[in-house]
A and B are shown apart, each in its own frame.
Chain A
């Protein structure tokens, strides 16, 4: 693999993979917060 191919592979797959994984995580977080909603009184939990 040439240096240019290596660099472009890392850029496209690396950045694309990071973006895709984090987007996937946003979906999981949405699912989590929908499945486990805050209590009705709306108190912020003590984390």
Chain B
């Protein structure tokens, strides 16, 4: 698979998500990125993700 083909596949997969789901995904990934290598308690990240979901889906 070329990088271009891979990119297309990712695009296709993401296009199946709703606007709200994409919003949650990008925010959750940002939380994960900020905690990568410095996480002590996984529970904190899960709570943050739950907060994001609650905020978007009301």
Tell me if chain B binds chain A.
Answer: no
